[in-house]
């Protein structure tokens, strides 16, 4: 990132003036991986690693994730940085290590007394279950949920139904006993319920991608292997490969080539067995480029952990097409595989047949870390095309559908919102995913999660991300009608709000009290949300902002009075000079279980109250 002309890891304003002096931060700062290299390699802010490393340490970046800081020795020798500045960073780092007990006998360090068994303890499994249950968001429910507990046949369909990847997201540990949605429904369904399963399709294709076979390359692929990551100079080795299906790990692609910092170019002709849309999928660590008939269709030329990149092309069977793949490996594990999804076959038929002989269908759709993670952006906010087709095919059977979305970000499907009676956003819910899902679908737990982001209808409704302007982005500035709003979420009961009182405490402080009652027949948690609309709302300023939220549990007919406190920060805005100023005038306070104004205007199910507070 770069702010006000400075790479953030080299910004004295951010790291010293704001972080340490203004905010009083006493700890140490570590860069993101490769961020110091970016200072000279991509930002072009410094001419080389020596200068970039010195600039970063001077600004207050104490330690890096990367391999540039060894150049600090040269920087000291050349007088680019002095030892006193380096000592300052070293002191911060050593203090952190001392506080962690890294130099003390194990008997003095409390962390050494925690046994490994605590990781998968019953207490922690219960916490994982609670986190999953409370984070799932019920977005729509036309009286289908909770599902009946009488004996029935339930069809579980979709590529995420039995997919361990969607439980954990990125940068995760490995749970001892993960429970997929399918496993959870089978294990925790009421007695007599029969759970059947069909995958229906893959995440992005009708079937799982298959490695492109040697028959697709009639003359093989000429592999030129270079002992550098940039395909420069003459290749160290040339050979013929018949498929691209390599997982070298910490090894090298050839005896004469290093295990890190190498690159490969494969060239040849490809012939497809079926005419139609071919989806090519590359699994790579680090970078890959795929050219078809001279056209670049996959461009992922940067360092990252193993990810899947895909692109589609319409090709005719039996016709030779020019084919070129370029790959580079920087460090720490090497993978390069090339697979495809072929057209043809009879998609969805087994899933449709299962739906027809079932009483209700649970569709587990969405995306996975294979399609969104660090270094891999989504190309659309909608369901992948093949999953949208599966949804429509199952909907056409007329059987009731519970759509369970698993994703790490918003999913837009206007068709589903219009046509499916129940929609549950489950996110990447952790090791107890299936257990939590079964508890919610069968009514043992009332859903209580709320959306932490806005679900837009399409990317056409928001500006292109060419700058950091917030206009018409996020719930605070968005002017349209979202598919689902920030803060949205339903439960299996209803709540009423009354007796909203605002007490002025002076000095631009106030106390807000509201009474909430569960007027339904099921116990449930409610998440109260307090929004503030400042006098200057609109134009360049937020139209409203969340200023407090509270989760409370209420049984049937139970009531509770909840209090919030607001102060000067809550009634302030940032002016054009970047300064915080009190926004004087009459502010509007909105309290409810969702964005109150949104729910009243667009859904007719408003549960909120409003009041005014004069900021004098």
Sign of CA dihedral 516, 517, 520, 522: positive
Burial class (CB in 10 A: 0-12, 13-18, 19+), 150: exposed
Establish whether 570 is a catalytic residue: no
Of the residues 16, 32, 208, 224, which is catalytic?
Answer: 32
- What angle do helix axes 122-135 and 433-441 make, rounded to 10 degrees? 50
Q: Is the peptide bond before 146 cis (omega within 30 degrees of 0)?
A: yes
Asked whether 315 and 298 are in contact (CB, 8 A), the reply is no
* Residue 195: other Cβ atoms inside 10 A: 19
- Contact residues for 105 (Cβ-Cβ < 8 A; gap 6+): none
* Residue 377: other Cβ atoms inside 10 A: 8
Structure tokens at 220: 């093989």
Sign of CA dihedral 397, 398, 401, 406: positive
Structure tokens at 407: 């994703």
Establish whether 67 is a catalytic residue: no
Asked whether 300 and 325 are in contact (CB, 8 A), the reply is no
Of the residues 284, 326, 372, 425, which is catalytic?
Answer: 372
Query: Which of 356, 314, 339, 360 is CA-nearest to residue 146?
Result: 360
Q: Assign 149 to helix, strand or coil.
A: coil
**Cα–Cα distance between 184 and 199 in angstroms, integer?**
16
DSSP symbols for 207-274 = S--EEPPGGG-TT-EEEEEESSTT--SS-SEEEEES--EEEEETS-SSTTS-SSSEEEEEEEEE--SS
Sign of CA dihedral 422, 427, 429, 430: positive
**Cα–Cα distance between 11 and 7 in angstroms, integer?**
6
> Please, what's the largest Cα pairwise distance for the chain?
83
Asked whether 259 and 252 are in contact (CB, 8 A), the reply is yes
What is the separation of C-alpha 194 from the centre of its chain, rounded to a whole number of angstroms?
33
Asked whether 534 and 555 are in contact (CB, 8 A), the reply is no
Asked whether 495 and 518 are in contact (CB, 8 A), the reply is yes
Catalytic residue list: 32, 372
């Amino acid at each position: 990132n770069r702010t006000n002309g400075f790479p953030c890891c080299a910004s004295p304003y951010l790291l010293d003036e704001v972080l340490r002096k203004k905010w009083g931060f006493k700890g140490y700062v570590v860069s993101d991986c490769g961020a110091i290299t970016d200072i000279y390699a991509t930002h072009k802010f410094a001419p080389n690693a020596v200068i970039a490393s010195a600039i970063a340490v001077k600004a207050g970046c104490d330690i890096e994730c990367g391999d540039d800081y060894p150049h600090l020795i040269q920087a000291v020798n050349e007088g680019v940085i002095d030892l006193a500045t380096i000592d300052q960073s070293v002191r911060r780092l050593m203090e952190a290590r001392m506080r962690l007990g890294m130099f003390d006998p194990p008997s003095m360090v409390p962390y050494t007394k925690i046994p490994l068994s605590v990781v998968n303890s019953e207490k922690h499994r219960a916490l994982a279950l609670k986190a999953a249950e409370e984070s799932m968001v019920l977005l729509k429910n036309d009286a289908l949920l909770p599902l009946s507990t009488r004996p029935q046949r339930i069809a579980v369909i979709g590529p995420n139904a039995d997919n361990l990847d969607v439980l954990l997201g990125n940068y995760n540990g490995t749970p001892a006993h993960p429970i997929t949605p399918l496993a959870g429904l089978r294990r925790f369904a009421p007695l007599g319920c029969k759970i059947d399963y069909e995958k229906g399709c893959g995440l992005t294709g009708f079937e799982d991608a298959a490695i492109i076979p040697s028959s697709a390359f009639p003359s093989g692929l000429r592999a030129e292997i270079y002992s550098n990551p940039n395909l420069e100079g003459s290749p160290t080795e040339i050979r013929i490969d018949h498929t691209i299906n390599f997982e070298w790990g910490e090894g090298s692609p050839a005896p004469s080539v290093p295990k890190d910092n190498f690159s490969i170019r494969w060239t040849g002709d490809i012939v497809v067995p079926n005419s139609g849309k071919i989806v090519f999928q590359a699994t790579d660590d680090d970078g890959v480029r795929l050219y078809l008939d001279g056209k670049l269709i996959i461009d992922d030329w940067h360092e990252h952990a193993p990810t899947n990149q895909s692109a589609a092309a319409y090709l005719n069977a039996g016709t030779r097409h020019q084919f070129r793949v370029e790959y580079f490996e920087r460090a720490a594990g090497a993978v390069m595989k090339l697979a495809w999804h072929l057209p043809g076959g009879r998609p969805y038929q087994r899933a449709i047949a299962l739906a027809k002989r079932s009483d209700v269908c649970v569709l587990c759709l969405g995306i996975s870390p294979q399609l969104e993670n660090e270094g891999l952006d989504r190309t659309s906010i909608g369901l992948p095309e093949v999953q949208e087709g599966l949804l429509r095919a199952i909907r056409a059977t007329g059987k009731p559908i519970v759509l369970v979305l698993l994703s790490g970000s918003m999913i837009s499907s206007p068709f589903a919102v219009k046509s499916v009676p129940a929609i549950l956003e489950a996110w990447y819910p952790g090791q107890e995913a299936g257990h939590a899902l079964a508890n919610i679908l069968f009514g043992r737990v009332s859903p209580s999660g709320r959306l932490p982001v806005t679900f837009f209808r399409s990317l056409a409704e928001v500006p292109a991300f060419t700058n950091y302007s917030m206009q018409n982005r996020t719930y605070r500035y968005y002017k349209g009608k979202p598919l689902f709003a920030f803060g949205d979420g339903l439960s299996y009961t209803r709540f009423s709000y009354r007796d909203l009182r605002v007490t002025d405490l002076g000095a631009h402080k106030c106390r807000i009290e509201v009474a909430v009652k569960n007027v339904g027949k099921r116990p449930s948690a409610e998440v109260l949300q307090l929004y503030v609309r400042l006098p200057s709302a609109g134009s360049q300023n937020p139209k409203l902002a969340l200023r407090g939220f509270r989760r409370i549990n209420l049984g049937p007919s139970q009531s509770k009075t909840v209090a919030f406190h607001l102060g000067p920060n809550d009634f302030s805005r940032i002016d054009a000079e970047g300064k915080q100023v009190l926004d004087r005038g009459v502010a509007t306070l909105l309290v409810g279980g969702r964005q109150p104004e949104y729910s009243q205007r667009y859904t007719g199910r408003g549960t909120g109250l409003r009041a005014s507070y004069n900021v004098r």
